[in-house]
Amino acid sequence: MNSEDTAVLMKEYVKMMMDMVILCATLALSLCFWLISLAISTYYGTLQPVSPWRWLYSILIPVVVTSRALKRRSLDRSGALGALLVGFVLTMANYSFFSSLLAFFYTSSKLTRWGAAKKKQIDPEYKEGGQRNWVQVFCNGGVPTELALLYMIEVGPGEIPIDFGKQYSASWMCLALLGALACSTGDTWASEVGPILSQSQPRLITTWKEVPAGTNGGVTPVGLVASFLGGLTVGVAYFVTQLLMVNDRHLADPQWPIMMYGGVAGFLGSLLDSFLGAHMQYSGFDSSIGKVVSYESSTTQRICGKPILDNNAVNLFSSLLITLILPGLAWGAWPR
C-alpha cells in the first residue's frame, strides 16, 4: 500500500471518527437538556418536560442538514452556525416549522445552482452554490426564530392545528412564521427561476417599463408564478407535517387553507420585495462590465432606486411586513 492510499484511508477513518464523535456528543447533549427541562418542570410544577427524543431530533437533524450544506457550499461557516441555531429553535418548537424551513432551504439551494452559467452573466456577485453567510441566514430566518420562541412561551414545544377560535395567538404565530418562510421562498424562486425561463425582459414594478435582467424591482410573469409555487411548496410541507403529527385535527378548523396561505404569502412577499427594491435599492447599469450593479460609479448609469437598503435588509423588511399583515387577513377569511 503506497502513501497516497494510506492518506485516503486515514482521511476516511478521521471522517468516520468525527461522525461518531458528533453523534455521541449529540446524544449526550440531548440527554443533558432533557434532564435540565425535567428538573425545571419538577421545581415549578407547571411546565411540561420535553421528551429526550425531541431534544435529540432538534440537535441531530440541524447538525446533519447544515453539515451537508457546508460541504456543498450552500452555506459558509458563519452561515452554518447561524443555520444551526435557527434549525434548533424551529425543530424544538414545532416539527411543521422545521419542515417548512427545510423546504425553503433545500429548494432555494437547488435553484441557486440551476442555470449557474447564465446567472454569472447577469449577476456580478453570483457565488457558486449560494454560500449564504450568517447575515443572509438571519435576515431570512431571524423573524421565524423569534416567532418560534414566542410560540414556545405561549404553548410550549409541540404541534397544534390552526384554530383561531381555540388558540388565537398560537395560530397567529404559526401562520406568521409560515408567511415569513413562504415570503423568503417566493422571492428566492422568483429571483432564481425568472432570469432562466423568462422569454421576455423584466418590467419595473413601479413604472412597468422594461429593465435589464438583474434590476432590483424587475418582475416577469414567470417569476411571479414561481413565487406563488415557492410559497405553495412551503405551505404543502407544513400541511403534510400537520397530517402526520397532529391527532386532533378533526376537532379544529380545516387545515387545508395552510397550503393556499403559503402560496399567497410567497406571491405577495415577492411583490413587496420587488416594490421595496425598486425604491430603496440602487440599480445601475455598469457599461464597463455590461451588468446591473448595486453601486454608483463613473461608468454606471442609474436605472432605479436609492442606495438606502441592501438586498438582505429588503428581504428582512418584506418578511416582517408579511408576518404582521397576512395572519390578520387569514383570520378573517379562514373557513370555520
Q: What is the pLDDT of residues 79-133, one digit of tens each?
A: 888 899 899 999 999 999 999 999 999 999 888 888 777 767 666 666 655 678 8
What's the whole-number mean pLDDT along residues 154-171? Answer: 88
Kindly provide the b/e burial profile for residues 14-31, where b requires at least 16 CB atoms within 10 angstroms of the residue's own CB.
eeeeeeeeeeeebeeebe
In degrees and rounded to multiples of 5, residue 167 shows phi and psi of -140, 75
Look up the pTM and report it: 0.84
The one-letter amino acid code at 46 reads T
Residue partners of 257: CB distance under 8 A and separation at least 6: 162, 330, 333, 334, 335
All three cell numbers of 176, joined, read 406568521
d(CA 134, CA 113): 19
Mean pLDDT of the chain: 84
| pLDDT the model gives residue 43 | 62
Q: What is the pLDDT of residues 285-334, one digit of tens each?
A: 888 888 888 888 888 888 888 888 888 888 888 998 999 999 999 998 88
pLDDT band at 34 (very low <50, low <70, confident <90, very high): low
d(CA 184, CA 191): 11
Percent of the chain with pLDDT over 90: 35
pLDDT band at 149 (very low <50, low <70, confident <90, very high): confident
The better pLDDT of the pair 197, 264 is held by 264
Q: Specify whether the CB–CB gap between 74 and 112 falls below 8 A.
A: yes
Specify the DSSP element, H or E, that contains 9.
Answer: helix 3-44
Whose cell is 387545508? That residue is: 256
Q: Is the pLDDT of residue 33 over 80?
A: no
d(CA 17, CA 32): 22
3-state secondary structure of 112: helix
